[in-house]
Amino acid sequence: MSAPVSRLAILLALLRKELLVFSRDKLYLFLTALTLVIVVAFYHLLPDAVDETITVGLSPSVQNLVEASAESLAALGVPEASIAELRDAPRLAQEQGLILTEFDTAEEMAAAIESGDEVQIGVAVPPDFVERVLAGERDIEVTVYSQAAVPSEVQAAMSGFIREIARQLAGEELPVRFPAEDLIILGPDRMGDQIPLRDRMLPMFALMILLMESFALASLISVEVLQRTASAVLVTPARVSDMLAAKAIFGSGLAFVQGMFVLAVLGAFTSANWLPLTLTMLIGALIFTSLAMVAGAAGKDFMGQVFYTMGFTVPLLIPAFAILFPGSAATWVTFLPTWPLLDVIVGVTVYDAVLADVWPSMLMALAWGLALYAVGLVVLRKKVHSL
């Protein structure tokens, strides 16, 4: 009489079977490798810095404007130091993130803006602009040139900028008073420290890897259900619980390993964030594996399995877009399982958060993972028993 087989040995045998079946699925094996290559390549193609400077055209040049009004300025008693400061306006503007590109004529500036090489918006003032403003004229014609692609907010801001310069030259005080700038900044001040696009895309890349593996696992489950492989396995000493455990461990492990590989290649790990990031990827793998079990059990053919997998998992990418394009996300988006998941990934990779900062979101993501895992097990168990 042979000795009884231990549950661990059965589980390991089932895991080997899962690995063998996955290695024979050439389509998803190819798509998995392709996704890894595309993600890494696309990440390195994205810009790694943010240019916070704004290039504005000006006609005529500052030097010509000052020279045309030098006598009037001196006659009005304007100190030479103030006149020198006017001549130094391009450098002072650059220190504030504004680059002035000067043109001799408005026609030259309009041609440069139309070509769109460097300048997208500019302003043309009369050569005696400074003198006429100081003389108190109220009807000075100023023309703003802009490409059609420039947002209307920027165009309006340029017009307001010219009005403000004219007020300052005329010595007029604004009828309102503003507090100090640092008193009205809400949230972290990112001026001079903007987040590059590649860093903002990092959470979406991690989610894409988990999403791809959910398709692969759902396909494996669907094939076993259609071919009644699960029924054949249950003829052996293996139980339904053993088979379900093997599915969950293999799917979660596969998604987790590939997700960690991509994050490591992209340089996402640091000595401060490796623990929360690792735990979060493990929770994410659990969430997507659970959904893959539901989709694989529900699909009656290949197209049905793909349809169900997309229906369950693609909506989970919505929070990634909300993070990629910051704004006021709809309330319902915050109730999706991937919202707390992405909140942790963004916090630790972009904003240098630590475990103490993100543990509430991590607990919420874990709760979602356990709940979806329970649902996946119930659905898959019911499907296996119905074969």
Is residue 64 domain-shared with residue 205, that is, in the same domain?
no
Is residue 233 domain-shared with residue 346, that is, in the same domain?
yes
Identify which of 232, 259, 233, 235 has the alpha carbon closest to the alpha carbon of residue 246.
Answer: 233
- Predicted pLDDT of residue 70: 67
Contact between 219 and 378 (Cβ < 8 Å): no
Question: Between β-strands 54-59 and 98-102, what pairing exists: parallel, antiparallel or unpaired?
Answer: parallel
In what helix (H) or strand (E) does residue 60 lie, and over which residues does it extend? none
SS3 76: coil
Is residue 165 assigned to a domain? yes
Of 40-44, 120-124, 298-302, 355-359, the least confident: 298-302
Confidence bin at 364 (pLDDT 50/70/90): very high
Is residue 228 domain-shared with residue 355, that is, in the same domain?
yes
What phi and psi values does residue 174 have, to the nearest 5 degrees?
-70, 145
Kindly tell me the burial class for residue 58, based on how many C-beta atoms sit within 10 Å of its own C-beta (0-12, 13-18, 19 or more).
buried
Of 105-114, 161-170, 182-191, 270-279, the least confident: 182-191
CA distances (Å), origin 164, targets 134, 157, 160, 167, 386: 14, 10, 6, 5, 76
Is residue 85 domain-shared with residue 219, that is, in the same domain?
no
Average pLDDT, integer, range 105-128: 80
Average pLDDT, integer, range 247-276: 87
Is residue 1 assigned to a domain? no
Is residue 275 domain-shared with residue 340, that is, in the same domain?
yes
**CA gap 387, 222 in Å, rounded:** 13
Q: In this predicted model, which residue has the larger pLDDT, 215 or 174?
A: 215
Is residue 188 assigned to a domain? no
Average pLDDT, integer, range 113-140: 76
Question: Strands across the sheet with 98-102, in order?
Answer: 98-102, 54-59, 121-124, 143-146
Average pLDDT, integer, range 95-110: 75
In sequence order, what E strands does the chain have?
A: 54-59, 98-102, 121-124, 143-146
Is residue 97 domain-shared with residue 240, that is, in the same domain?
no
Per-residue pLDDT of 29-42, as tens digits, reads 887 888 888 888 88
Q: In this predicted model, which residue has the larger pLDDT, 186 or 48?
A: 48
What is the per-residue DSSP string for 342-385?
HHHHHHHHTS---HHHHHHHHHHHHHHHHHHHHHHHHHHHHHHH
Q: Per-residue pLDDT for 180 more than 60?
A: no
Other CB atoms within a 10 A radius of the CB of residue 338 amount to: 25
**CA gap 21, 221 in Å, rounded:** 10
Contact between 73 and 130 (Cβ < 8 Å): yes
Residue type at 272? A
Is residue 168 domain-shared with residue 75, that is, in the same domain?
yes
Average pLDDT, integer, range 164-179: 62
Per-residue pLDDT of 192-204, as tens digits, reads 456 777 777 888 8
Task: Return the HEC string of 102-144.
Answer: ECCCHHHHHHHHHHCCCCCEEEECCCCHHHHHHCCCCCCCCEE
Of 90-94, 249-253, 264-268, 341-345, the least confident: 90-94
What is the per-residue DSSP string for 158-170?
HHHHHHHHHHHHH
Instruction: State the total domains in the chain.
Output: 2
Confidence bin at 14 (pLDDT 50/70/90): confident
**CA gap 100, 122 in Å, rounded:** 9
Average pLDDT value for the chain: 77
Identify which of 221, 252, 249 has the alpha carbon closest to the alpha carbon of residue 381.
Answer: 221
Last-in-domain residue among 151, 183, 215: 183
- Predicted pLDDT of residue 1: 42
Q: Per-residue pLDDT for 363 more than 90?
A: yes
The DSSP code for 192 is T
Is residue 255 assigned to a domain? yes
Is residue 145 domain-shared with residue 228, that is, in the same domain?
no
Confidence bin at 177 (pLDDT 50/70/90): low
Is residue 189 assigned to a domain? no
Domain that holds residue 170: 54-183
Please tell me whether the overall predicted TM-score, pTM, comes out greater than 0.75 for this model. no
Is residue 231 domain-shared with residue 373, that is, in the same domain?
yes
Please state, for a pLDDT cut of 70, what percent of the chain lies above it. Answer: 73
Per-residue pLDDT of 207-254, as tens digits, reads 888 888 888 788 777 777 766 766 666 667 777 777 778 888 888 888
- Predicted pLDDT of residue 367: 94
Q: Per-residue pLDDT for 54 more than 60?
A: yes
Q: In this predicted model, which residue has the larger pLDDT, 95 or 72?
A: 72
Q: In this predicted model, which residue has the larger pLDDT, 383 or 370?
A: 370
Q: For the chain, first and last CA: distance in Å?
A: 31
Average pLDDT, integer, range 156-181: 65
Is residue 348 domain-shared with residue 232, that is, in the same domain?
yes
In what helix (H) or strand (E) does residue 261 lie, and over which residues does it extend? helix 240-265
